[in-house]
Amino acid sequence: MTIGVVGAGQLGAMLALAGYPLGFDFLFLDRTERTPAGRLAPMLTGDFADPGVLRQLAERSEVISFDWENISVDALRAATRATRVRIAPPLKALAAAQDRLAEKRTFERLGIPTTRFAAVDSPAALARAVRRIGLPGVLKTRRLGYDGKGQFVLRASADAALAWERLGGVPLLYEEFVPFDYEVSIIGARGRGGETVIYPLNRNYHVDGILRLTLAPWTAPRLWRTASTSLKRVLEAFHYVGVLAIEFFVRKGRLIANEMAPRVHNSGHWTIEGALTSQFENHVRAITGMPLGAARPLGFAAMINLIGDMPARETLLAEAGLHLHDYGKEPRPGRKLGHCTLVETSAERRNLRAKSLLRRLCPHLDVKP
């Protein structure tokens, strides 16, 4: 069976690495061949909205998935209409996750606490939103935002003009700034028959809006129960098939949903070595209609993203038990080039090793596990 994947980044590459041992083949679509998944699997090249190339992908695959959210739902729907290919996760979930307004409304509808928000499409609407929601607040583009891109923090009413100048002209969302204590995410999978598995909670540390470190399992049983209830509500609401992630702020012991990702998620990379079945394998199992694998952790994992420039391979591989994933990408500031994972026997040992590794790999960064 061939799995077609729109987007051939590192998430796609890790899907292929998980799916080949199970006997599946892969075909990727991306704008160029020089991609992380292009090192592993055959590729089609073209624009993500190109009907011809999407049609080819549909004709050569039994199921289509995606490793990147910013693709055209309409083009994919149109290109696959006359074919027998299945699409998973469902396009309705993808459409909701692509638009921050639809995403917030989904959370609200399902009774999942989220930040207060208002749609903004003019300077006057921004002034109204700031008055209603208050300051500080974050103005975000509704679409095409990721890793903190397309965001502006307003601390005073006078910032509104500059915020509009930077982001205005496309649909926007203004939301309250949450002075959170920390950030967590939950990841789970739903199979075609409706069965679900949920991974332990991830504690996430961002720098400049980009995930830098994940510690998992993060032992907080009450938060895990609440987060997994929210995740299951979203999975059920969309008759979801595949892996889904939700990111939350934690403030005074309460969860506030920030966003969801209808795909495998960076905060779940630790599951490759740290869980009985990785998120990538469970995504492949779910979309191909196979039984899901257990999400049980095998220890206490720390996952560090390697961003902007790659530390020397010798340094990383000299670290006992460290698992390196080099995505083979050209270095560029702010670009995710790889990640590494440690799995330890206790949370204390894991935290100490993560701290020491971070100090050596990126001494200038303010990340304190």
Which 3 state secondary structure label does DSSP give 98?
helix
The vertex-293 CA angle with 292 and 297, nearest 5°, equals: 140
Strands of 117-120's sheet in order across: 117-120, 172-176, 137-141, 151-154
Using CB under 6 A as the binding rule, whether residue 115 contacts ligand AMP is answered as yes
Using CB under 6 A as the binding rule, whether residue 257 contacts ligand AMP is answered as no
Task: Work out which of 46, 90, 113, 148 binds ligand AMP, going by CB under 6 A.
Answer: 148
Using CB under 6 A as the binding rule, whether residue 106 contacts ligand AMP is answered as no
- Which range of residues in 27-35, 170-178, 224-232, 294-302 is near ligand AMP by CB under 6 A? 170-178
The answer to whether the beta carbons of residues 334 and 210 sit under 8 Å apart is yes
Minimum gap (Å) between residue 87 Cβ and ligand AMP: 25
CB nearer to ligand AMP: give 153 or 161: 153
Minimum gap (Å) between residue 216 Cβ and ligand AMP: 16
CB nearer to ligand AMP: give 68 or 177: 177
Secondary structure letter of residue 143 according to DSSP: S
Minimum gap (Å) between residue 140 Cβ and ligand AMP: 6
Strands, E assignment, the chain: 2-6, 25-30, 43-45, 63-66, 86-87, 117-120, 137-141, 151-154, 172-176, 182-190, 196-198, 202-207, 210-216, 242-251, 254-261, 300-307, 323-326, 336-344
Q: Look at the alpha carbons of 3, 231, 48, 92 in this order and tell me if their dihedral is positive or negative.
A: positive
Using CB under 6 A as the binding rule, whether residue 103 contacts ligand AMP is answered as no
Using CB under 6 A as the binding rule, whether residue 266 contacts ligand AMP is answered as no
Q: Which of 98, 43, 40 is nearest to 74 (CA)?
A: 98
CB nearer to ligand AMP: give 76 or 173: 173
Which 3 state secondary structure label does DSSP give 6?
strand
CB nearer to ligand AMP: give 183 or 273: 183
Minimum gap (Å) between residue 136 Cβ and ligand AMP: 8
- Which range of residues in 175-183, 219-227, 231-239, 311-319 is near ligand AMP by CB under 6 A? 175-183
CB nearer to ligand AMP: give 193 or 209: 209
Using CB under 6 A as the binding rule, whether residue 68 contacts ligand AMP is answered as no
Using CB under 6 A as the binding rule, whether residue 143 contacts ligand AMP is answered as no
Using CB under 6 A as the binding rule, whether residue 69 contacts ligand AMP is answered as no
Task: Work out which of 50, 69, 259, 273 binds ligand AMP, going by CB under 6 A.
Answer: 259
Task: Work out which of 118, 138, 246, 316 binds ligand AMP, going by CB under 6 A.
Answer: 138
CB nearer to ligand AMP: give 4 or 145: 145
CB nearer to ligand AMP: give 67 or 103: 103
Count CB neighbours of 160 within 10 A.
Answer: 21
- Which range of residues in 31-39, 62-70, 172-180, 360-368 is near ligand AMP by CB under 6 A? 172-180
Q: How far apart are CA 255 and CA 201, in angstroms?
A: 12
The per-residue b/e assignment along 100-114, b for 16 or more CB within 10 angstroms, e otherwise, is bbebbebbeebebeb
Using CB under 6 A as the binding rule, whether residue 209 contacts ligand AMP is answered as yes
Using CB under 6 A as the binding rule, whether residue 145 contacts ligand AMP is answered as yes
The answer to whether the beta carbons of residues 47 and 54 sit under 8 Å apart is no
Q: How far apart are CA 87 and CA 84, in angstroms?
A: 10
- Read out DSSP for 24-73? -EEEEEES-S-STGGGTS-EEES-TT-HHHHHHHHHH-SEEEES-S-S-H
- Which range of residues in 25-33, 81-89, 177-185, 289-297 is near ligand AMP by CB under 6 A? 177-185
The answer to whether the beta carbons of residues 367 and 212 sit under 8 Å apart is yes
- Kindly determine how many residues on this chain lie close enough to bind ligand AMP according to the rule CB under 6 A: 13
Positions touching ligand AMP (CB under 6 A) are 115, 138, 145, 148, 175, 177-178, 183, 206, 209, 247, 258-259
